[in-house]
Homo-oligomer: A and B are copies of this chain.
Amino acid sequence: MMRVMSTRIADTIRERIEQMIVTGEFSDGERLDEVKLAEQFGVSRTPLREAFQSLAASGLVTLEARRGAFIRHPDFVELVEMFEVMAELEAMCGFRAARHVTAAQMHAIARTIEACEAAIAKGDFDEYYRENETFHHLLYEASGNRFLASEAARLHRRLKPYRRLQLRANGRMPQSMREHRAIYSALERNDSKAAAAALRTHVAIQGERFNDLMASYRQMASLKTG
């Protein structure tokens, strides 16, 4: 889980631009100016172009030949689609985890659930987000399918900013915690179908959650164009 420190400028730049994108510093469709950004970061265009490619690979920007890199915020429909796939991937993780999870993994999962609840009690949002992420990553690992785990983690990461807004938008945390416990319980009983169903519910956008996301999306949209 610990990131290895890289001395590559391109990687650093990539992270900084990603942060800027995620915090809504660019509007949708905006072109990323190579020379301006290079100047701003005090580097040449070379590492910037590498960063652009990397960002394009994770879908945050699109590269158009001889036109440049353009910010690509998912529209609302795409966002729903992405959450739908995320739900299914997590369900798959849960399904498999119910059979493959080890005692040590169950212990670690239990610990993050408690840490989440403690964070809520303290009102420490950042702590909650961190522990929540750990919870999900542990689940991916517990699937026993490392490729699945990496794909799930990739999409999870991509959805991070939207999930965060969604949760912050209203007091969904207690409900989310109950779902965590339901997932844990299903794993404990080695009930694959229940685990899959619990995770699908936990992640999917349906009912009021749909409205929550829409609200948070509008909020982001207003940031973007502002």
Contacts and interface: CB of A to CB of B under 8 A. Distances in A.
Interface of A: 6-8, 11, 49-50, 53-54, 57, 65-66, 78, 81-82, 84-85, 88-89, 92, 145-148, 151
Contacts of A11: 65
Given A53-B53, A57-B54, A148 B85 contact: yes
Contacts of A82: 147
A65 B8 contact: yes
Contact of A147 (B6, B66, B85, B147): B85
29 contacts: A6-B65, A7-B65, A8-B65, A8-B66, A11-B65, A49-B50, A50-B53, A53-B53, A53-B54, A53-B57, A54-B57, A57-B57, A78-B146, A78-B147, A81-B146, A81-B147, A81-B148, A82-B147, A84-B145, A84-B147, A84-B148, A85-B92, A85-B145, A85-B147, A85-B148, A85-B151, A88-B88, A88-B89, A88-B92
**What are the nearest 8 A-B pairs in CB distance?**
A57-B57, A81-B147, A81-B145, A53-B53, A82-B147, A85-B148, A88-B92, A8-B65
A110 B202 CA distance: 37
Contacts of A148: 81, 84-85
A185 B88 CA distance: 24
A85 B92 CA distance: 9
Contacts of A151: 85
A80 to B, nearest CB: 9
A53 B146 CA distance: 22
Contacts of A65: 6-8, 11
Given A53-B53, A81-B147, A88-B88, 16 more contacts: A7-B65, A8-B65, A8-B66, A11-B65, A50-B53, A53-B57, A57-B57, A81-B145, A81-B146, A82-B147, A84-B147, A85-B92, A85-B147, A85-B148, A85-B151, A88-B89
Nearest to A92: B88
